[in-house]
Amino acid sequence: MNYSLTYEVRLPSDYNTEQQYPVIFALHGMGSDEQDMLRLMEPLQSDFIIVAVRGPIVQGSGYAYFQIKSIGNPVRELFDASVQGLHQLMVDLSAQYAIDPARRYIAGFSQGAIMAMTLSLIMGDAIKGIVAMSGYIPQFVKDEYKIQPNSELSVFISHGDQDHVFPLQLGEDNASFFREQTPNVTYVPYHGGHQVTPDLYQQFQQWLRTDAKLTAEDPKGLNS
């Protein structure tokens, strides 16, 4: 299977290659595409470089990063290939655009959240923070991947209490696992299903702006 990734980049209106900007790599859910994530991230475009990445696998009328055998059980070969492909794409684009290496973020919903959490655990200081909405961490990632997150990793995890796809317990498990890796975990359980509610929409935007601003002021976390 061809794992070259299609993506779209949106630059701030004041983009200047002599400066450095925070970046959000935005990853969609199963059956969706990069355009959905561009719409979701649009209010942040004035402050961030936005890179929305399409999954390499056709899934219904949209795309996916991997297929599954059952809930919580991705097809390992496809999963690993997408992790590797996304990792390489982030490295390549970080060299191509005026991206601040201390302020690289990944935001994802559902499958995109699964990818975001996995990448943040293995990419070390290359990732400053993640927004993981309605996902889970596969057990084989915890057991077999080399876990080496940024010691200052910032994590925003959200999960709906009526999620019919992934039960709320998975969100709670995600938060507990990341609290073992970093002190900077924000967990937001909310009233709703497998969706981004209006309140959550505002919350994750504010969280990203605040974390990027604090990191720019104190990139090494010296005041934390």
CA distance 82 to 40: 22
pTM value?
0.95
Taking only the tens place, the pLDDT of each residue in 105-157 is 999 999 999 999 999 999 999 999 999 999 999 999 999 999 999 999 999 99
CA distance 186 to 169: 16
Q: What is the mean pLDDT of residues 172-182?
A: 98
**Position 224 pLDDT exceeds 50:** no
Torsion angles phi and psi, residue 150, rounded to 5:
-55, 130
**Position 1 pLDDT exceeds 60:** no
CA distance 33 to 53: 8
**Position 222 pLDDT exceeds 80:** no
- Per-residue pLDDT band for 71 (boundaries 50, 70, 90) equals confident
Q: Is 197 exposed, middle or buried (0-12, 13-18, 19+ CB in 10 A)?
A: middle
Q: Is 146 exposed, middle or buried (0-12, 13-18, 19+ CB in 10 A)?
A: exposed
Check residue 72 and give its pLDDT. Answer: 86
23 touches 49 (CB < 8 A): yes
Torsion angles phi and psi, residue 186, rounded to 5:
-110, 120
Check residue 4 and give its pLDDT. Answer: 81
Q: What is the mean pLDDT of residues 59-76?
A: 94
- Per-residue pLDDT band for 220 (boundaries 50, 70, 90) equals low
Taking only the tens place, the pLDDT of each residue in 178-217 is 999 999 999 999 999 999 999 999 999 999 999 999 999 8
Helix (H, G, I), strand (E, B) or coil at 211: helix
138: amino acid identity, one letter: P
Domain 7-217 CATH class label: alpha beta
Mean pLDDT of the chain: 95
Check residue 218 and give its pLDDT. Answer: 80
In our burial notation (b when 16+ CB lie closer than 10 A, e otherwise), range 69-78 reads eeeeebeeeb
